[in-house]
Amino acid sequence: MTPVPTITLNNGVEIPQVGFGVFQIAPDRTREATLTALQAGYRHIDTAQMYGNEKQVGEAVRAFGADRAEIFVTSKLNNGYHAYDDALGAFDGTLADLGFEYLDLFLIHWPLPAVGDFVETWRAMEEIYRSGRCRAVGVSNFQPHHLQRLLDETDTVPAINQIEVHPYLAQDEVRAFNAEHGIATEAWSPIAKGEVLDDETLVRIAGEVGRSAAQVALRWHIQRGDIVFPKSVTPRRVEENLAIFDFELSDAQMAQITGLDRGQRTGPDPDHFNMVP
């Protein structure tokens, strides 16, 4: 299998461009699913406090037996812990649940502007980064105006902005803002929870390149420079989602897929989402 390339973040840390997401995988299935992904060649795992399966991710990483430094692990701050001290304590809880001495990447999961001050939360993230227990910090679901506040009022540029991106939601404006400020873009829901897989354009291009529609969608992300972490608990699909580095889409095919953008979200709009569990 062709090795997974890495993206160099703005602090020099390297992250594999494809990872394995454990969103909506039940805790009692997460260890097995994560271990299957690691055995298939994934070296990047994306979890979150909200998912309730950090412990099982840590168990899988240890069971796999590789040097900890070989596995890049991301988690995200739960929405109920945006106050400065709460965020610091929540990070301690993540490390304890994972059973790690350090984390590779920690993100603010949602900006939640009507719930708390995400600038205060980001200052806690800066402290977490300075402590040396997290190799990089970033945000998730931030719009350009959210990011601009961080740039104006704090000292650390987020390493990553993890946002919903797929062929029906190209997010060119947010991605451009990220790129302008050295913030890497991670794409969650990269195949729109499967909604794009029957799209006639993707199906046609899949036939042209001899791949599945899912592989074509993921390859579109890769050639745009996004970091992706598709989720599946089916071993064949786990392997298929990683087999996207031995073919390329043409410029015309890339443009046709980008042209499918219809502003269609599968998840909440960050400007209006304020749910705290």
Catalytic residue among 51, 81, 129, 168: 51
Phi, psi of 260 (to 5 degrees): -80, -10
Burial 135-165 (b: 16+ CB within 10 A, else e): bbbbbbbbbeebbebbeeeeebebbbbbbbb
Residue of 246, 267, 271, 260 whose CA lies nearest to 4: 246
The single-letter DSSP state of residue 132 is: T
Name, in order, each residue with C-beta under 8 angstroms of 120's C-beta and a sequence gap of 6 or more. Answer: 82, 83, 84
E strands, the chain, are: 6-8, 14-16, 20-21, 44-46, 72-77, 103-108, 134-140, 160-164, 184-188, 227-228
Quick check: helix, strand or coil at residue 100? coil
The question of whether 81 is a catalytic residue gets the answer: no
Distance CA 228, CA 36 (A): 18
Do residues 234 and 205 lie in contact, with contact meaning Cβ atoms separated by under 8 Å? Answer: no
Distance CA 143, CA 2 (A): 34
Catalytic residues: 51
